[in-house]
Amino acid sequence: MITPINFENSIIILFAVTMFYVAMSSRMEAYVKMLAAQGALLFAVSLHSISPSDYITFSFIIFETLVLKTIVIPLYLMKIIRQNEIQREAKPSIPNLYSLMIVSAITAVGFVFAYWLAGTHQPVNPLFFGGAISVILSALFIIMTRKKLITHIIAFIFLENGIFLLSLSVAQEMPFIVNLGVMLDIFAWVLLAGIFVKMIQSSFTGQNIDALKGLRD
Amino acid sequence: MTSWVIPFLLIAPLALALTIMSIKPMRRLHIYITLLYSVLHLAASIYLMNFHENFSLYFKVDDLNPVFLLVLSVVFIAVSVYSISFFAHNDEKNHVERSWKYHVFLLLFVASLDGILLSSHIGMLWVFLEASTLFSAMLVYYYTGKSALEATWKYIFICSIGISFAFIGIILLSIGCIGGSGGEIELFWGSLNHNAKLINPFWLKMAFPFLLLGFGTKMGLAPMQNWLPDAYAESPAPAAAIISATLVNAAFIGVLRVHKVMLMAGLGFYSTTLLIIMGFMSLLIPAVYILQSRNYKRMLAYSSVEHMGIVAIGTSIGGAGLFAALLHMVGHSLVKSAFFLNSGNIFCLFRSKKIKEVTGLLKVSPANAWLWVASFVGICAFPPFVTFISELLIIKELLGKSIILTILFCAMLTAIIYGIARNVISMISGDPQHAESRQDAGLPATGYIPQIVLMGMAIWLGLYIPSFLLDLLNNAVKFMGE
Amino acid sequence: MNLFFIGIAIYLLTAVLSIMVKESRKGLVTACGTLPGGIAVLIPCIKSLLTGEAYPLSFMANYPIGQVRLLLDPFAAFFVMVIAAGSIFCSIYGSGYMKQYHGKGKAVSAHFFFLICLFVAMLLLPVIRNAIVFLIVWEIMSLSSFFLVIFESEKKEVFDAGIFYLIMMHVSVILLTAGFLVLIRIAGSADFADLQNVFQSGAYRTVSDTAFILLAAGFGIKAGFLPLHSWLPEAHPAAPSHVSGLMSGVMIKLGIFGIMLMIMVLGVPSLWVCYSFTALAVLSALAGIFCASAQDDIKRALAYSSVENIGIIGIGIGVAMLGMAYKSPVTAMMGFSGALIHLLNHSLFKGLLFYGAGAVYMQTHTRNLNFLGGLFKQMPKTGTAFLLGSLAICGLPPFNGFIGKFIIYYSMLNCKGINGESLLIAAISSFALLAFVGAVSVLCFTRLFSTVFMGAARDKHIESAVEVPVAMTLPMLVMAALCVAGGVLPLFLLRIAEFPAAIITGGKNVPGITAEFHDPLFVIAMISAGLILLTALLFALRVKLLRRQPAAVSGTWGCGYDNPTSRIQYTGASFSMPFIDVIKPVMQREETAAGVKGLFPLNAIFSFRIKDVFETVIIRPLGQGTVFLLTRLSWIQDGNMQHYLFYGIVFLILSLIWVIFG
Amino acid sequence: MKIIISVLMIIFFPFLISGTIRRVKSVWGGRKGPSLIQPFFDFSRLMKKSEVISRTVSPVFMVAPSASLAATICAAALVPMAGKSAILSFNGDFIMFCYLLAFGKFMLVVSAMDTGSSFEGMGSSREVTFSALAEPGFFIIMGSFAWISGCKSFESIFQGIYNSGPASGLLILLSIIGLFIMLLTEGGRLPVDDPETHLELTMIHEVMVLDNSGPDLGFIMYGAALKVFLIASLIASLVTPAGIGFVPGLIIFGVFVGVEAVFIGFLESVMARMRMTHIPQFVFMITALAIIIFFIVMMELGKAL
Q: Are B232 and B243 in contact (CB under 8 A)?
A: yes
| pLDDT cut 70: percent of chain D above it | 98
CA distance B289 to B381: 19
- Tell me if C639 and A216 make a contact (CB, 8 A cut-off): yes
pLDDT digits (tens, 9 = 90+) for D182-193: 999 988 887 888
pLDDT at D275: 84
Q: Do C642 and A140 touch (CB under 8 A)?
A: no
Residue of B nearest to A149 (CA): B153
pLDDT of residue A2: 47
Q: Give residue D254's domain range.
A: 2-46+59-304
Average pLDDT, chain C: 88
Domain assignment of residue D52, yes or no: no
Chains B and A touch (3+ CB pairs under 8 A): yes
Q: How many CB pairs lie under 8 A apart between chains B and C?
A: 146
CB pairs under 8 A between C and D: 280
pLDDT of residue C261: 93
User: Would you call B226 and C641 a contact, using CB atoms and an 8 Å cutoff?
Assistant: yes
The total of other beta-carbon atoms located within 10 Å of residue D209's CB is: 22
Q: How high is the pLDDT of residue A49?
A: 74
pLDDT digits (tens, 9 = 90+) for D20-37: 999 999 999 888 888 888
The whole-number pLDDT of residue C390 equals 95
Q: For residue D241, tell me if it sits in a domain.
A: yes
Q: What is the pLDDT of residue A121?
A: 61
The candidate with the shortest Cα–Cα distance to D185, out of D70, D103, D264, D113, is: D264
Please give, rounded to a whole number of angstroms, the shortest distance from the CA of A216 to a CA of chain C.
Answer: 5
Is D45 a residue whose pLDDT tops 70? yes
Any idea which of A22-26, A137-141, B176-180 has the lowest mean pLDDT? B176-180
pLDDT at C653: 92
pLDDT at C383: 94
What integer pLDDT is reported at residue C419 of this predicted model?
62
Q: Which of A140, A209, A216 is closest, CB to CB, to C637? A: A216
The reported pTM is: 0.91
Q: What confidence tens digit (pLDDT) does each residue in A46-63 have?
A: 887 776 667 777 787 888
Kindly tell me if the per-residue pLDDT of D160 is higher than 50: yes
**Chains D and C share 3 or more Cβ pairs within 8 Å:** yes
Residue C609 per-residue DSSP state:
E
**Torsion angle, alpha carbons of C494, C500, C505, C511, to 10:** 50
Question: Three-state SS string across chain A, please?
Answer: CCCCCCHHHHHHHHHHHHHHHHHHCCEHHHHHHHHHHHHHHHHHHHHHHCCCCCHHHHHHHHHHHHHHHHHHHHHHHHHHHHHHCCCECCCCCCCHHHHHHHHHHHHHHHHHHHHHHHHCCCCCCHHHHHHHHHHHHHHHHHHHHCCEHHHHHHHHHHHHHHHHHHHHHCCCCCHHHHHHHHHHHHHHHHHHHHHHHHHCCCCHHHCEHHHCCCCCC
Indicate the number of domains in chain D.
1
Give the gap in angstroms from C-alpha C634 to the nearest C-alpha of chain A. Answer: 8
Q: Is the pLDDT of residue A132 over 70?
A: yes
Question: What are the tens digits of pLDDT across the range D54-93?
Answer: 888 899 999 999 999 999 999 999 998 876 788 888 888 8
How many separate domains does chain B show? 1
Answer yes or no: is pLDDT of D180 > 90: yes
Of C443, C558, C574, the CB nearest to D121: C574
pLDDT, position C206: 87
- CA distances B417 to A214, B300, C167, C394, Å, are 27, 12, 8, 40
Q: What is the pLDDT of residues C373-389, one digit of tens each?
A: 889 999 999 999 999 99
Taking the CA of residue D132 and the nearest CA in chain C, the distance in Å comes to: 5
Q: Do D115 and C455 touch (CB under 8 A)?
A: yes
Mean pLDDT of C406-412: 90
Q: What is the pLDDT of residue B98?
A: 78
B372-395 pLDDT, tens digit each: 999 999 999 998 899 999 999 999
Query: Given CB atoms, is B226 within the 8 Å cutoff of chain C?
Result: yes
The burial of C5, by beta-carbon neighbours within 10 Å (0-12 exposed, 13-18 middle, 19 or more buried), is given as middle
Burial class (CB in 10 A: 0-12, 13-18, 19+), A136: buried
Q: Do C177 and B392 touch (CB under 8 A)?
A: yes
pLDDT at B401: 87
In a domain, A148, yes or no: yes
What is the arithmetic mean of pLDDT over C554-558? 78
- Does residue C309 sit in helix, strand or coil? helix
Residues (pLDDT < 50) of chain B are: 439
C170 pLDDT band (50/70/90 cuts)? very high
C491 to chain D, any CB pair closer than 8 A? The answer is no
Restricting to C residues 49-78, those with a Cβ less than 8 Å away from any Cβ of B are 61-64
Chains A and D touch each other (3 or more Cβ pairs < 8 A): no
- D250 confidence band (pLDDT: 50, 70, 90): confident
Q: Where are the beta strands (DSSP E) in C378-501?
A: none
What is the sign, positive or negative, of the torsion defined by CA atoms of C41, C45, C46, C51?
Answer: positive
* pLDDT recorded at residue B24: 83
Per-residue pLDDT at C310 exceeds 80: yes
Confidence at residue C511, expressed as pLDDT on a 0 to 100 scale: 60
Q: With bands split at pLDDT 50, 70 and 90, how would you rate the model's confidence at A200?
A: very low
Domain region containing A204 = 7-211
The pLDDT of residue C214? 93
Residue A2 within any structural domain of the chain: no
- Say if C631 is an interface residue toward chain B (CB within 8 Å): yes
Residues B98-153: tens digit of each pLDDT: 788 889 999 999 999 999 999 999 989 999 998 999 889 888 888 877 888 888 88
List B residues 254-283 in contact with C (Cβ-Cβ < 8 A). 270, 274
Question: Does the structure show a pLDDT above 80 at C588?
Answer: no
Residue of C nearest to D220 (CA): C538
Q: Is the pLDDT reported for residue C648 higher than 50?
A: yes
Residues 324-363 of C with CB under 8 A from D: none
Confidence band (pLDDT; 50, 70, 90) for A207?
Answer: low
Most confident listed range (C54-68, C295-309, C605-619): C295-309
pLDDT of residue C359: 94
- pLDDT greater than 90 at residue C311: yes
| Domain region containing B424 | 5-481
Give the C-alpha separation, D234 to D142, whole Å. 12
**pLDDT at position A198 over 80:** no
pLDDT tens digit string along D199-234? 777 778 888 888 888 899 999 999 999 999 999 999
User: What is the model's pLDDT at position D191?
Assistant: 82
Is the pLDDT at D107 greater than 80, yes or no? Answer: yes
Average pLDDT of the residues of chain B = 89
Q: How far apart are CA D23 and CA D36, in angstroms?
A: 7
CB D234 within 8 A of CB D226: no
Position C298 scores a pLDDT of 92
What integer is the mean pLDDT of C27-31? Answer: 89
Describe the crossing of helices A7-24 and A28-49 by its angle, rounded to 10 degrees: 170
What's the domain count of chain A?
1
The mean per-residue pLDDT over the stretch D164-185 comes to 88
Q: What is the full DSSP assignment across D146-179? A: HHHHT--SHHHHHHHGGGS-TTHHHHHHHHHHHH
